[in-house]
Amino acid sequence: MRELKPGIYEVGALDFDRRLFDEIIPLPDGTSYNAYLIKGSEKTALLDTVDPAKTEVLIDNIVKAGVEKIDYVISHHAEQDHSGSIPEILTIFPEAKVVTNPKCKEMLMDLLCLETEKFITVDDGEELSLGDKNLKFVYIPWVHWPETFGTYLKEDRIFFSCDFFGSHLATGNLFVDDEVVVYEAAKRYYAEIMMPFRSNIKKNIEKLSNYNIEIIAPSHGQVYNKPKFIIDAYKDWISDNVKNEVVIAYVSMHKSTAKMTEHFVDCLIERGISVKQFDLVTGDVGKLAISMVDAATIVLGSPTVLAGAHPLAAYAAILANALRPKTRFASIIGSYSWGGKMVEQLTGLLPNLKVEILEPVIAKGYPKDKDFTAIEELADKILAKHKELKITG
């Protein structure tokens, strides 16, 4: 249990040891499921709960905060890492009502089998008084589900933002104490969770500019007592600006694609283009996602396997397509021995990307001089395209 301000507590759970979220997202620094307790002069509200695996921690923290009665459980988001302990809380505090919006109510009934009588639904902008503390609900859809909203605590100027501005970071320090560390974790979180909804996030950030916010308290990671830091970072990530950067994600079976990747990376560096290289066998897909936030160009490297792309290259293409980065150009390098449709397969997996596909370079067997020349030409083309965007130094 950690105190934000008098009468306002973080009562959620740290999960230092969790290493995977949604069975796909790496968590190098663990995560936290933040839940907040606000004691007003007349009513007490619990804002979100925790992942079901950590219900006991939540209950212990509520007890430590000296609370005997909860009037409202405000559920900002139906995903179970924040809603999963609601049934247990309602068992312990049967008088509590779940305050949420109509869409989230429907989801909570589907996901947690809660009964309709348990709910109070609220609209965007509606307020709820706890006595000397007053809450205003602010819809922030698509960060990253459609039902999500936040709560603005008017007297203390705290915005409880749910997943928005979150980071997967487990640390005992409640407030941001190292902006470099938090920047990386928050960018990773943005890349993996928020990036597909960039245009919705733009609207939500504009909406928040109407509020005087001194503290942003997200549902994962540390609390921002200097919120400009994370708002400015988000404004950069959601902008249309891309960087003079190429992400090359590759897999190689017999060193042909690896040799091509090596030469390609050298060519890009020689031309003053930043490069992020990822071996898809051993790399951290979270790092790959982070690198896609700003890069002007993404290149996939793949051998041809059973007449198609290597499954790991297909995985990277599906990931890029799902994350919808603002990348402008894409290409493919790789190899084949006897034929196949590797290029067609990979480009077909990228329908969501608004990219220009630059001429792929595919070697027959181990790359020869003409293949290395073609790679140099691809690097030249990328440089020319980046120059057109006026992003080169």
- For ligand FEO, the binding residues (CB under 6 A) are 77, 79, 81-82, 144, 163, 219-220
- Residue found by looking up tokens 């009037």 in the block: 71
Least separation, in Å, of the C-beta of 39 and ligand FEO? 25
Q: Is the peptide bond before 144 cis (omega within 30 degrees of 0)?
A: yes
53 phi and psi angles, rounded to 5 deg: -65, -20
Give the integer Cα–Cα distance in Å for 135 and 118. 20
Least separation, in Å, of the C-beta of 244 and ligand FEO? 33
Residues 6 or more apart whose Cβ sits within 8 Å of residue 7: 38, 39, 40, 133
If the CB atoms of residues 217 and 375 are measured against ligand FEO, the closer one turns out to be 217
Pairing of strands 295-305, 308-309: antiparallel
Cβ atoms of 253 and 202 within 8 Å: the answer is no
Residue 204 CB neighbours (<10 A): 22
In 3D, which of 165, 202, 158, 195 has the Cα closest to residue 183? 165
If the CB atoms of residues 50 and 208 are measured against ligand FEO, the closer one turns out to be 50
Cβ atoms of 4 and 216 within 8 Å: the answer is no
If the CB atoms of residues 194 and 349 are measured against ligand FEO, the closer one turns out to be 194
CB-facing half-sphere around the CA of 77: CA atoms within 13 A: 29
If the CB atoms of residues 32 and 331 are measured against ligand FEO, the closer one turns out to be 32
**Residue closest to ligand FEO (Cβ):** 79
Least separation, in Å, of the C-beta of 230 and ligand FEO? 16
If the CB atoms of residues 88 and 266 are measured against ligand FEO, the closer one turns out to be 88
Distance set, CA 181 to CA 15, 221, 255 (Å): 17, 11, 35
Least separation, in Å, of the C-beta of 150 and ligand FEO? 13
Least separation, in Å, of the C-beta of 157 and ligand FEO? 24
Least separation, in Å, of the C-beta of 144 and ligand FEO? 6
In three-state secondary structure terms, 298 is strand
- Residue found by looking up tokens 């030409």 in the block: 377
If the CB atoms of residues 53 and 67 are measured against ligand FEO, the closer one turns out to be 53
If the CB atoms of residues 54 and 144 are measured against ligand FEO, the closer one turns out to be 144
Distance set, CA 220 to CA 137, 313, 368 (Å): 19, 31, 50
If the CB atoms of residues 77 and 310 are measured against ligand FEO, the closer one turns out to be 77
Least separation, in Å, of the C-beta of 145 and ligand FEO? 6
Q: What is the DSSP string of 141-165?
A: --SSSTT-EEEEETTTTEEEEETTT
Least separation, in Å, of the C-beta of 190 and ligand FEO? 13
Give the integer Cα–Cα distance in Å for 216 and 149. 14
If the CB atoms of residues 273 and 319 are measured against ligand FEO, the closer one turns out to be 319
Least separation, in Å, of the C-beta of 81 and ligand FEO? 4
Q: What is the DSSP string of 237-258?
A: HHSS--EEEEEEEE--SSSHHH
In three-state secondary structure terms, 133 is coil
